[in-house]
Amino acid sequence: MTITAPGLELRQLSRELEGRRLLDGLDLQVAPGECVALLGPSGCGKSTTLRLVAGLDPASEGNVLLDGEDLTLREPGERQVAMVFQSYALYPHLSVQGNLELGLKVRGVPAAERRQRIDAILDLLQLGSLRHRRPAQLSGGQRQRVALARALLRQPRIVLLDEPMSNLDAQLREELRPELRRLLCGGEQPVIYVTHDQQEATGMADRIALLEGGRLQQVGTPRELYENPANRFVASFLGRPAINLLPMAHRRQLGLRPEHLILGEEGPLAARLLRREWWGHQQLLWLESDQGPLRLLTSAAAAMPPQPRLSWQRRHELWFDADSGARLAP
């Protein structure tokens, strides 16, 4: 057996159902206290991964290890996993307090200790005043906090969050992000945070694991994925507005991010302005060039030259194989 680092390790984790591979040989390590965002388009296997880690579904191949200990065949209740579902899964028939208490009761925690721990967590999340409300009487954000509180009470060895903020509006999501990080990350437990929102992934996670079609595309810090994408999918999934892909000779594609294009009177590409989107301090320009349509992000103050041409720095060039999408050396 290989010696493993502390933390969570997924080895060749796979799930096959009715002849379809929902997850295909996922290798991933999450260090204690580290928060890894599982990112990818809808249906790529993010929830599947979480359910395998939690033990809610059986893995068809591969292993789940925690601090070197193989959890693959353990019952979900024995894994000490806390999971927050996208729906929050609050028990509708119980008050906030009842929701927090049920798990403790089930595990046989004595009443006095239950009370003390619930009080502490209600304080921490400022939920005290909602203690006796039913889930139906809470706002979306409040429900999310209750679900979080319930997960924390589990004293988990692994924290799994499945799109915990997708039901909240954009503003609330941004507000809650630091709080979530403060509560969950940097402790003892490895955290896997599922999202399909790259901004949230960048904001929350230490590293991002990008999935597509049940396969891991790349894992690394947000910056690594942005600057050095492993393939065309990673390059286009990360970064908004999306990267421009220009067809080049020898069945190659040149990727240039909109923010890296320079608008001026000189440069290799001539362009014509189609439309302008104003983004506050920036503007997005929709251009037509010989190589097809292009997006360009520039300062809101930038003026449009009479004969606009586009240029860029060599180091920003990303080259891909036009057929496989594989990254090519420049």
Ligand X SMILES: Nc1ncnc2c1ncn2[C@@H]1O[C@H](COP(=O)(O)OP(=O)(O)OP(=O)(O)O)[C@@H](O)[C@H]1O
Taking CB under 6 A as the rule, which mask of x and - marks residues 40-69 in contact with ligand X? x-xxxxxxx---------------------
Q: Which residues contact 129 (CB under 8 A, 6 or more apart)?
A: none
Residues at the contact surface with Mg ion, assessed by CB under 5 A = 47
Residues contacting 73, CB < 8 A, separation 6+: none
d(CA 6, CA 66): 7
Q: Examine residue 176 and tell whether it contacts another protein (CB under 8 A).
A: no
| Residues in 124-153 at the binding interface with another protein, rule: CB under 8 A | 134-140, 143, 147, 150
Q: State which amino acid sits at residue 153.
A: L
Nearer to ligand X by C-beta: 87 or 139? Answer: 87
Q: Which of 17, 102, 111, 248 contacts ligand X by CB under 6 A? A: 17
Residue 244 found at the interface with ligand X (CB under 6 A): no
Among 1, 106, 249, 303, binds another protein (CB under 8 A): 106
Of 92 and 306, the one with the shorter C-beta distance to another protein is 92
H-assigned helices in the chain: 46-54, 96-106, 111-124, 140-153, 170-184, 198-204, 222-227, 232-237
The residue (of 134 and 181) whose beta carbon lies closer to another protein is 134
Asked if 3 is part of the footprint of another protein (rule: CB under 8 A), the reply reads no
296 binds, among another protein, Mg ion, ligand X, none (CB under 5 to 8 A by kind): none
- Toward another protein, which CB reaches closer, 153 or 297? 153
Q: How far apart are CA 227 and CA 221, in angstroms?
A: 10
Choices 99-107, 113-121, 223-231, 308-316 (CB under 8 A): range interacting with another protein: 99-107
Residue 122 C-beta: closest distance to ligand X, Å: 30
- The reply on whether position 215 binds ligand X by CB under 6 A is no
* Beta-strand relationship, 207-212 and 35-39: parallel
Backbone dihedral angles phi then psi of residue 172, each to the nearest 5 degrees: -65, -35
- Write out the H or E segment, with its range, that includes residue 220: strand 215-220
Within 8 A by CB and 6+ apart from 216, the residues are: 25, 26, 27, 28, 209, 210
Instruction: Please give the Cα distance from 126 to 118 (Å, whole number).
Output: 12
Closest CB to ligand X among 26 and 153? 26
Q: Please, which residue, 194 or 287, has the CB nearer to Mg ion? A: 194
- At closest approach, how far in Å is the CB of 84 from ligand X? 14
DSSP string computed for 263-294: EES-SSEEEEEEEEEEETTEEEEEEEETTEEE
User: Contact positions toward ligand X, by CB under 6 A?
Assistant: 17, 22, 40, 42-48, 196
User: Contact positions toward another protein, by CB under 8 A?
Assistant: 54, 56, 76-79, 81-83, 85-93, 102-103, 105-107, 134-140, 143, 147, 150, 154, 167
